[in-house]
Structure 1
Amino acid sequence: MEEEAEEVEAMTMKKLGSYGGEVKVLTVVESESESAAEETMLLWGIQQPTLSKQNALVSQSSLQLCLDACGHSLSILQSPSSLSTPGVTGAVMWDSGVVLGKFLEHAVDLGMLILQGKKVVELGSGCGLVGCIAALLGAQVILTDLPDRLRLLKRNVETNLRHGVRGSAVVKDLTWGDDPDQDLIEPPPDYVLGSDVIYSEGAVVDLLDTLSQLCATQTTVFLSGELRNDAVLEYFLEEALKDFVIGRVDQKQWHPDYCSQRVVMYILVKK
């Protein structure tokens, strides 16, 4: 039985998009809904996120998050007071953002990922850590968020990308579900990044609509997220599987010092 299980596991491991590592691909056996339900149950069963410490890599009560990345000491400003305002997102960092940012650095260091000179669009950039790290790794990054969330984002980009930046970074507003500006989709981005963007069922449809508009078949999407609500994640996976091939990145491929059982990371490539 163990040999059969290992064989099935091996069959589902393959490379996706422009990432050099193998990921566990979610295969649609009978329906997208059954595959999404199986993946969600597996995640909660194996990782047991509720038993792990929340915000292990960040301090949301602090006015700034300090993090070393790509030979730079980054200082990411936060707005803890905004957390009490209903509907406001992107005011503080979450573990999933730190995990994704340090994963990108780790993958580039290992030669599993090339960002130098690549066009990158970040969705829901929030405080901007992930986009800043991508720019330090040589990417031409467009960091996006809602129009009323850009002040803090712009400040963090200006503060942390003054010197020694191999790539570039610009900030633009983007509302999911709306038609993106032409410079976001022409030419299509090589990579789309997002951390903690799967947070409510209401946002899933608009998020996937934007992903579909941004992505060409050669675009590789990296999404990391907090494991808070199994129903929201299951709904996202069910809908996303209709248009994308999805692979889960094993934690063994993350930066060894920046892992969390409360976080999951997926790669999406358009079918």
Structure 2
Amino acid sequence: MGSEEEEEEESGRIVRLGSYGGKVRLLLQPSREEEEEEESNSGVDEAEAAAEETMLLWGLQQPTLSKPNALVSQSSLRFSLDSCGHSLSILQSPSSLATPGVTGSVMWDSGVVLAKFLEHAVDSGTLLLHSKKIVELGSGCGMVGCIAALLGGQVILTDLPDRLRLLRKNVEVNLSHCDLRGSATVMEFIWGDDPDPLLIQPTPDFVLGSDVIYSEGAVVDLLATLQQLCGCGTTIFLAGELRNDAILECFLEAAVKDFVVGRVDQTQWHPDYCSSRVVLYAMVKK
């Protein structure tokens, strides 16, 4: 551990968060005096924390210099990945990318990073998913949710109504003929709508999302949904592509008002599935 990380750990910036046993770097560590300040004054610290984080990511990782989609092939009709002793074959629909706003028809690097992070964290003992209730938002092709189910989670994969056909097909193709430790259910869910009782009763142990921070409008609906889904015992993992620093900063500034947010360093990821174009956050409700 370097001296800078040691200083951050001593100051409380490097911590364990929620049900994740690994260490994360907190974006905002308020003092007791700051917590007692009026809400109108606390926004300055939230904005500064969000700006500092985005500047740090773009300065250190320099995502625009890295190749996009380095871990996936979006032109192929299938994406293959070995995980949990199984060879997954994820069906894709590359032609759907021509439709504006449709991005869940193919795999993205952030989904691969999140899926393999979960597997690596379980294998290393920093995460326990067996028998845990897991809700995945914006499941897309379904790879993350499938791997979470293979790791023993009771997973509900959700997406918009027009995305469910491909999602259901991938769950069936990859999980119906294997010795599944967990379970996988596909459900329609539109962010911002009242969640189905099955999603919140009981509250999830984990909420997962990859590439879900993509516009300011989506940020508002995503955070409203996280507020609805999550209880005090819920741990959130969100992985995202570093494309637009303004949108990420908008999300972080809003998120730290109601959630404790920590960035999972790449040293905690699966060593073979890292990308400087991807960031991974762990979050818990304040």
After TM superposition, the score normalised by the length of structure 2 is 0.92
Q: Deviations over 1:219-257 (max 9, x none)?
A: 000000000000000000000011000000000010000
Q: Does the 8 A contact of 1:28 with 1:35 survive in 2?
A: no
How much has 1:8 moved relative to structure 2?
Answer: 3.4
- The residue type paired with residue 179 of structure 1 is D
**Equivalent residue, structure 1, for 2:210:** 195
User: Runs of 4+ in structure 1 displaced over 4 angstroms?
Assistant: 2-6
Secondary structure of the 2:184 match is strand
**Equivalent residue, structure 2, for 1:92:** 106
- The residue type paired with residue 21 of structure 2 is G
Q: Does the 8 A contact of 1:193 with 1:222 survive in 2?
A: yes
**Equivalent residue, structure 2, for 1:70:** 84
Secondary structure of the 2:271 match is coil
Determine the C-alpha separation between the residues in 2 that align with 1:203 and 1:79. Answer: 23
Determine the C-alpha separation between the residues in 2 that align with 1:118 and 1:28. Answer: 29
Change (3 A) 1:4 1:25: closer
Change (3 A) 1:269 1:92: same
Change (3 A) 1:4 1:259: closer
How much has 1:5 moved relative to structure 2?
Answer: 7.4
Identity rate, percent: 74
Secondary structure of the 1:232 match is helix
Determine the C-alpha separation between the residues in 2 that align with 1:131 and 1:139. Answer: 9
**Equivalent residue, structure 2, for 1:211:** 226
**Equivalent residue, structure 2, for 1:270:** 285
Change (3 A) 1:164 1:205: same
Determine the C-alpha separation between the residues in 2 that align with 1:155 and 1:111. Answer: 31
Q: Deviations over 1:137-170 (max 9, x none)?
A: 0000000000111000000000000111100000
Matched, 1:232 2:233: no
> Unaligned regions of 5+ residues in structure 2, if any?
31-43
Secondary structure of the 1:117 match is coil
Secondary structure of the 1:265 match is strand
Equivalent residues in 2 for 1:107-256, closer than 5 Å? 107-162=121-176, 163-256=178-271
Determine the C-alpha separation between the residues in 2 that align with 1:251 and 1:101. Answer: 14
Secondary structure of the 1:209 match is helix
**Equivalent residue, structure 1, for 2:28:** 27
> Unaligned regions of 5+ residues in structure 1, if any?
none
**Equivalent residue, structure 1, for 2:16:** 15
How much has 1:89 moved relative to structure 2?
Answer: 2.4
Q: Does the 8 A contact of 1:36 with 1:238 survive in 2?
A: yes
Q: Does the 8 A contact of 1:97 with 1:224 survive in 2?
A: yes
* Equivalent residues, number: 270
- The residue type paired with residue 54 of structure 1 is P
Determine the C-alpha separation between the residues in 1 that align with 2:105 and 2:144. Answer: 14
Determine the C-alpha separation between the residues in 2 that align with 1:28 and 1:219. Answer: 20
**Equivalent residue, structure 2, for 1:83:** 97
How much has 1:6 moved relative to structure 2?
Answer: 4.5
After TM superposition, the score normalised by the length of structure 1 is 0.97
Secondary structure of the 1:159 match is helix
**Equivalent residue, structure 1, for 2:119:** 105
Secondary structure of the 1:103 match is helix
- The residue type paired with residue 17 of structure 1 is G
Determine the C-alpha separation between the residues in 1 that align with 2:4 and 2:110. Answer: 33
